[in-house]
Amino acid sequence: MKTNLSDVVEQYLEMPSDFAVLITGKWGTGKTFYLKNELYKTIRTTIVPNNKSIYYRPVYVSLFGITSIEDIEKRIFLDVFPNKSKFKSFTKFITKGVFDFFQISETSFLDKMRFWKNNLKTLDDIVVCFDDLERKTDSLSMKELIGYVNHLANDNAVKVLIVSDDTKFNPTDTNDFTNFKEKIIGLQVEYRSDFAQNFKNILAYTFPGEDEYHMHLVAFLPLFKDYLRKSDYNLRIFIYFLKYYHIVYRNLIEYSRLNKTSKPVLVDMITEQWESIFRFSLAVSIEFRLGRISFSNNRTLRNHISHSLINRILEQQNSKQDIEDEQFVKEFTEEYFGNRRMFVFIDSLYAHFTGGDKFNIGRFIDEFKELHHISDRQVLPEYYVLSKLGSTQLQLLSDEEYAHTTKRLLQYAYEGKYPIELYPELFTTLTRADNICDFDIDELLLGLKRGVEKSKATFTFSRAYLYSDALISKSPYPSHLKELIKFIEGIDNQVRSDKVNSVIQELQNSLFNSPRMLQFEMDSRQEFNNYRVMPFLHKIAFEQFKRQLLNWSNQTLDEFENFIIHRYSSLLDNSLKVEKNFLIDTSNFITQYLESNTKKALSKAFLKDISIRCRAAIDKLSSIPNTLNI
């Protein structure tokens, strides 16, 4: 956006004309905002050439949803009529009743305009501003609109501005739009968005007088420009974010004010983490408004680590949706946070910015304290030391303080005070600046391995596999860092093996106790929901299952039959194909059992039905290709 656009419009208003001016630009870049907040100023301060006593005034008509020329006439009438407030109650009679009220015949709109010109108000001061040309309905043809605008601008010398994204017309309107430009558009001007200026203007208009909020946002202007680039600097997204982020900002500022004395550590940490709060809030707002995420579908952002690892636990080939979501998470975290390790999901903010819940300051504070290891109004000492050596506070330390703090970090690391996934970063921190503390690297590596072993007791899953080659390549000791990561991966495999046994045992116990209840849990419980479409039956102890099958009551046999039906009723990919051997073995076992036991029993009928369901599932699984079609 540059000031010469206003100059061009001013020149158009001052000159005799029989044409309209077209202002083009992409959706969401601020055309309408600029029209109403900048060009309107130009229009209202430009004197009508043939009447030096009056100024132009804008008449705004959005064509979005307009179905006929009559609709346009109604909107212009209500805007032009000098006492429109008095006659708003007549709106529903506008086509006939209002003009009957003035004893005007049902002639063309311009006849009505001439009535106003002669009896109420001159048309010389009107600038009709049509917006959203590309969003008109199909029932209003472009040819009709061409004739109408031509009647205004060419036949009656009415000033007309048209705002549009000329890349968004449907195919049926494209050719007519070309004719439209040739016949009635005397000048086409491209609106070029200046984000910095838009930023300033929108803050001034949306939050007048809130200087502290303005200053807070100005500090993040480079991030705004970088993040909003992904949405082509869509100002609708920007304004949406500003309004919802204002609620977060206001609540946190008030919380900090009230708790500055009683909870200084927490308040200081909030101040220190404003950028991470801002990054997450803006990233979620952009992706939500672009339609890529929603409150109910976070694309595994909430569980971006555990979701991938659950698939690894059960050695499952990811479904098409899993692969797409994993790619989304990768792009999201790299685009907005640099890498996945820097991204932390904040539930209260996500719900707020995706319309799931109003912002809850209490819920946010609870999350924040957990994320930043704040207990009893202070940061746990091991994390306090780690934060002191972070990039944002490093410059505040003297040489002596740096050496002392680094030794404390080393002590905590050796004691296993940190989660295992942090140890590669601890190694990088301890050896920064070419090992400024002059540690023996071999001894350091050995001590960190011992710390990892001590930390194993609280270990769930490692993020070590997420560390990129770039992290290793930046280390002055890449071979040692590789060895540390490999050591952590070994523990990851060990824990993974234990977790596999634990998960399978839990699922097996649930299946043996009640297939119906297991199905219910898979459909309703978050911790079981993943296994509804993840394979596990091929992992259970089959000999034990056979004994259980023969000991089940008829009711439980019926439950298991329904479990098989439900599990394989809608297969979208080959994720459950590894369970085929379990089904084959089950069906074969039942067949052999029925053939070897000729005594009639109701239970045998249920077993036979299970075998039939297994065979049907086998046929369905066999029809699915081995590789995913992505």
Strands of 165-268, DSSP E: 185-190
Among candidates 175, 167, 208, 177, which has minimal Cα distance to 29? Answer: 167
CB distance 126 to 61 below 8 Å: no
Q: For the residues of 505-572, what is the DSSP string, one character each? A: HHHHHHHHH-HHHHHHHHHH-HHHHGGGSS--GGGS-HHHHHHHHHHS-HHHHHHHHHHHHHHTSS--
Nearest to 110 by CA among 69, 139, 82: 69
- C-beta of residue 95 within 8 angstroms of C-beta of residue 74: yes
Secondary structure class of 375 (helix, strand, coil): strand
476-508 b/e with 16+ CB inside 10 Å = b?
ebeebbeebbebbeebbeebbeebbeebbeebb
CA 570 to chain centroid = 29
* 8 A C-beta contact, residue 104 and residue 112: yes
d(CA 398, CA 389): 12
Residue the block writes with tokens 């052999």: 592
User: CA 116 to CA 95: how far, in whole Å?
Assistant: 16
Contacts of 331 (CB under 8 A, 6+ apart): none
What CA–CA distance (Å, rounded) separates 494 from 463? Answer: 14
Residues with Cβ within 8 Å of 316's Cβ and at least 6 positions away in sequence, in order, are 534, 535, 575, 578
For residue 417, what pLDDT is reported?
93
Residue 309, token pair as written in the block: 């690892």
Contacts of 583 (CB under 8 A, 6+ apart): 537, 564, 614, 615, 617, 618, 621
* The predicted structure's pLDDT at residue 466: 54
Return d(Cα 445, Cα 443) in angstroms, integer: 5
What Rg do the C-alpha atoms of the chain give, in angstroms?
35
Can you tell me the distance from the alpha carbon of 230 to that of 258, in angstroms, rounded to the nearest whole number? 38
- Reduced to 3 DSSP states, what percent helix, strand and coil does the chain have, rounded to the nearest 5? 65, 5, 30
Which numeric CATH code is attached to 4-191? 3.40.50.300
What's the rounded Cα separation, in Å, for the pair 58 and 370?
55
CA–CA separation, 331 vs 337, rounded Å? 10
Structure tokens given for 98? 């209002």
β-strand 185-190 against 20-24: which pairing, if any? parallel
d(CA 99, CA 87) in angstroms, rounded, equals 11
Distance of CA 515 to the CA centre of its chain: 37
Helix, strand, or coil here: 229?
helix
The secondary element (H helix, E strand) that includes residue 62 is strand 57-62
The predicted structure's pLDDT at residue 497: 77
The pLDDT score that the predictor gives to residue 373 is 85
In angstroms, what CA-CA distances link 342 with 333, 336, 422, 453, 466? Answer: 8, 10, 12, 24, 11
Q: What is the mean pLDDT of each run of 10 residues along the chain (630 residues)?
A: 76 91 87 90 92 89 90 84 49 41 48 52 81 88 88 89 85 74 87 82 89 94 86 84 96 95 90 92 94 84 54 50 77 79 85 94 94 82 88 84 95 93 90 92 96 80 55 88 91 78 85 89 61 79 95 95 89 77 96 91 95 94 65
CA distance 185 to 192: 19
Helix (H) or strand (E) holding 129: strand 126-131
3-state SS record for 426-469? HHHHHCHHHHCCCCCHHHHHHHHHHHHHHHHHHCCCCCHHHCCH
Please give the pLDDT value at position 305.
Answer: 47
Do residues 358 and 352 touch, judged by C-beta distance below 8 A?
Answer: yes
Phi, psi at residue 27, to the nearest 5°? -55, 140
Whether residue 7 contacts residue 41, with contact meaning beta carbons closer than 8 Å, is answered with: no
Q: How far is CA 158 from CA 14, 80, 106, 118, 342, in A?
A: 12, 13, 22, 15, 58
